[in-house]
Amino acid sequence: MAIDLIEAPSEMSGDYLKELKHTLVVSGDTELISAPAYYLAAQRAPSINAFMTGIAIIQDELAHAHIAYHILEDLGEDQEKLIFSRDPKSFRYPYAFDVPLEDWTELIVANAFYDQAGFCLLGDIHEHCSYGPWKRGLNKVMLEENFHLRNGRNWMKKMSAAGGETKADLQRAVDWMFPLTVEWFGLPDDLKMHSKQLEYKLKGKTNDQLRQWWLSLVVPFCEENGVQVPAHKEGEDFVLDYPFPCTFDAEERRWDFKDPCTWDDVLVRWRARGPRNAEMVAMFQEEFHTFRKAHANS
Amino acid sequence: MTALTDVQDPEMPINIVDLGLVYGVRRDGPRVDVDLTFTAMGCPAYDLLLGDVRERLLQEPGVEEVRIRVVWDPPWTSSRLTQDGRDALQMWGLAV
């Protein structure tokens, strides 16, 4: 049965438009910030082929960001202002990207974990979104995210199979990146049941449903490949083996599973942003303004 | 060659045979030699596809060794797409 999609602002209520724009900003910001975050790590690729893959993934992420910002422009926003003139702290992307990825191992774990999270979030939007232009734009995004994911998974398999220090290096990255991605899906449903995004069919799954989907893809993959993750399956659901939420030392990139905290504490950490927020945003904002200034004077 | 239709391009809904990347496959007892090209020299899926080709052929009964020769001459062009490949890409919205 064909589903009636919303195609233009004239068909939207003011509140729908506001919620759609907010969701698009989160999506665009997340894709955009992944580019500098991945670039810092891709520079440490172990071969030219691996570097080309890393750079191609970054190019994809920039293009995915462009899709969201382009739609925002069609909805009356100024794309240039959104990208180049906002304060770094006002960008709406997951906290995980403010924690630096320092080497190739961390980049490929990001491909396997963060891009899997992106795949779940965007896959849900792709399936359920009531706004036609975005739904259609996501067709190609989904295939490209799948490529990023496969790159991450292939490398994780190889590194785990290699054993020794290579496997230990992989496990070290997984240890801090797994809980950070679990957090990616936001507050649990018992704290945030009502969502306008669900009401307006901008997405179809709740935060906890998306988190479970991600766990159902990542936990078995890690177990099959000898990578330890603090979660297991119980009945139909995946259960975390640590208090959720708990404290995270962003500078040391270390979780303290013996120190549970509240979601208020997490929100304070998220709102303060992480160690690399300003640096990441500056990577694409600075040169834009430098270039503008140079041309204005010529 | 049939086995290689199971190897998908990681970014497009098309297998590497219909995409025209496989220039030749020769079986010599337990060994298979493959001549393979890419759509571009800077193909981001280079390592991924080599791994997928090797992995798939090693699943064939009696195959113990896979040697892949990357071929740049003749260069790949869209004329190497099969009709099935063209149909798949056109259905996906690409002009070919």
Whether B51 has its CB under 8 Å from any CB of chain A: the answer is yes
**What is the mean predicted confidence (pLDDT) over A165-183?**
98
Please give the CATH topology (third level) of the domain spanning A9-297: Ferritin (1.20.1260)
Contacts of A98 (CB under 8 A, 6+ apart): A250, A273, A274, A275, A276, A277, A280
Superfamily for domain range B3-92: Fe-S cluster assembly (FSCA) (3.30.300.130)
Which chain B residues are within 8 Å of A146, Cβ to Cβ? Answer: 10-11
Domain ranges for chain A, please list them: 9-297
pLDDT band at A1, cuts 50/70/90?
very low
Domain ranges for chain B, please list them: 3-92
Give strand pairing partners of A237: A234
Task: Quote the pTM value.
Answer: 0.89
Whether A142 has its CB under 8 Å from any CB of chain B: the answer is no
**What is the mean predicted confidence (pLDDT) over A10-19?**
95
User: Could B93 and A139 be called an inter-chain contact, meaning their C-beta atoms sit closer than 8 Å?
Assistant: yes
Which chain B residues are within 8 Å of A49, Cβ to Cβ? Answer: 46-47
Mean pLDDT for chain B?
93
Q: Is the pLDDT of residue B28 over 50?
A: yes
Task: Measure Cα distances from B88 to A78, B27, B85 in Å.
Answer: 37, 29, 5
pLDDT in tens, B35-62: 999 999 888 899 899 999 999 999 999 9
Window 52-91 of B: residues touching A by CB (8 A cutoff) are none
CA A116, CA B81: separation in Å to the nearest integer? 31
Buried b / exposed e over B37-73, threshold 16 CB at 10 Å, is bbbeeebbbbbbbbbbbbebbeeeeebeebebeebee
Give the closest-approach CA distance of B15 to chain A in angstroms: 14
- Which of A55, A150, A153 would best serve as a mutation to test chain B binding (most B beta carbons within 10 A)? A150
CA A53, CA A49: separation in Å to the nearest integer? 6
Which chain B residues are within 8 Å of A53, Cβ to Cβ? Answer: 44-48
Q: Is the pLDDT of residue A151 over 80?
A: yes
